[in-house]
Every structure is written in C-alpha cells, then in structure tokens.
Amino acid sequence: MRTANERRRRRLVYGLLGRIRLRRISRRYNPTAVLAVFAFISAGISITLIASLALLTQAAFIFPSLGATAFILFYEPTSSSACPRNTLLGHGIGAIAGWCALALFGLLDAPSALQTSVDLSRVGAVGLSLAASCALMVWFRANHPPAAATALIVSLGLMPQLSQIPVLLGGVVLLLLQAWVMNHLAGIDFPLWSHRPDTSTADDK
C-alpha cells in the first residue's frame, strides 16, 4: 500500500509525463529521477531569477531559507507546506519573530553573530525567535519548516532592520509566482493560495 506522499509523487510524475506527451515511457524511468530533473530545472531557474533581481536592485532578495523553500515547492508542490498561504505566512512569522526577539534583547544595533562572539543576549534572542515562530506557525496553521530558519537568520543579526522584512517577503512572493508558473506548465495542480486537501481514493493504491 502506498503512502499519501508516494501517491502524490506518482501523480506528479504522471502529470509531468502527460504534459509533455511522454506518459507511455513512464514505466521505463524511475519516478524519482523524473522529479529530480524537474526540481533541478525549476529550482535553478527560481534562484537565478531572484539572484538577478538582487543584482539589479542591490536588495537582499536572497536569503538561505529560500533554498529550502524552493526544494519543497518543486519536490512536494501539492503538500500543505508548499501552498502559498503557508509559505508566505510562515516566512512572515519567522521574520517578525526574529526581529521582535532582537528588539526585546536590545540587539537591533548590535553586530551580527558572525561578526562577534555569541553572548547570553544572543542565545536568548535565538531561542525566543525559534520558539515563537514554531508556536505561531502551529497556532495559525501555517506550517512551513524553512520559515524557522528565517527566524534564526533575523535573530542572529543578519537582517536586523525592520525595513528588510518586506524585501525578504518580496523574494518569497517572486519564488511563489515562479513556482506557480512552472508547476502549472508541468500540469501540476499547484494552488493559487490555500492548500487543497488530498482527494486520493482506493484507486491510487
């Protein structure tokens, strides 16, 4: 019996192959290999797009947790973690939790943890930001694991300015738009906003 994730991935592969009229050869190729190629192309395009925009605008559209987000968007695009609502809210929660933790511990004007040694205030800010972001994502039902990394990036002092949060979220929106386009071109039912429940039946077994 296949798990829900296995059924989702099988439908993804069939959607990809059907879209490019190659479904007949689906039995010859490992579904994991098909998804790996799709993820390689899609993630490469998305990060290149965002990096190019960052180069043109000199704004910090790139941040480490975007890489983890890209992986989820193109590997499990039909999961709840990948839906635009959870992705955008999750990163927003993580960024705000990180900034509030910096403010609470008086670290808004302090050098980042990469420039100086870690002290008790930094430990407190990091711990509070991660705890708060996880709790709030659960409370608002906006599960997106990479957003926890966003909380740490901010609370470590890498993005200490409140004005940087809208820029960060702009990068998330760009990634979501590109994911929507790529997934729909591949015939994958990627939601416009909220997660669509799995409607698998016994026929998928």
- DSSP letters, 130-180, are HHHHHHHHHHTT---THHHHHHHHHHTTSS--TTHHHHHHHHHHHHHHHHH
Q: Is residue 122 part of a domain?
A: yes
Tokens of 175: 């990634």
Q: Is residue 53 part of a domain?
A: yes
58-67, 78-87, 100-109, 149-158: the lowest-pLDDT one: 58-67
Render pLDDT for 176-195 as a digit per residue (tens, 0 to 9): 998 898 888 777 788 999 86
Tokens of 161: 């300015």
pLDDT at 21: 46
Measured distance CA(155)–CA(94) in Å, rounded: 9
**pLDDT average, residue stretch 118-122:** 94
CA atoms within 13 A on the CB side of 128: 17
Q: Is residue 205 part of a domain?
A: no
Tokens of 153: 């990036």
Secondary structure (3-state) at 89? helix
Tokens of 146: 């990479």
Q: Is residue 179 part of a domain?
A: yes
Tokens of 180: 């929507």
Degrees, nearest 5: CA angle 170-198-138 = 55
Q: Is residue 44 part of a domain?
A: yes
**Range of 72's domain?**
4-196
pLDDT at 205: 41
Phi then psi for residue 188, to 5 deg, are -95, 135
Number of domains composing the chain = 1
Q: Is residue 203 part of a domain?
A: no
Render pLDDT for 25-77 as a digit per residue (tens, 0 to 9): 455 666 677 777 777 888 888 888 878 777 776 766 667 888 899 889 988 88
Measured distance CA(86)–CA(181) in Å, rounded: 18
Q: Whose structure tokens read 């490019």?
A: 20
- Residue 32, C-beta contacts closer than 8 angstroms, at least 6 positions apart: 9
159-163, 166-170, 184-188, 191-195: the lowest-pLDDT one: 184-188
Q: Is residue 201 part of a domain?
A: no
Q: Is residue 24 part of a domain?
A: yes
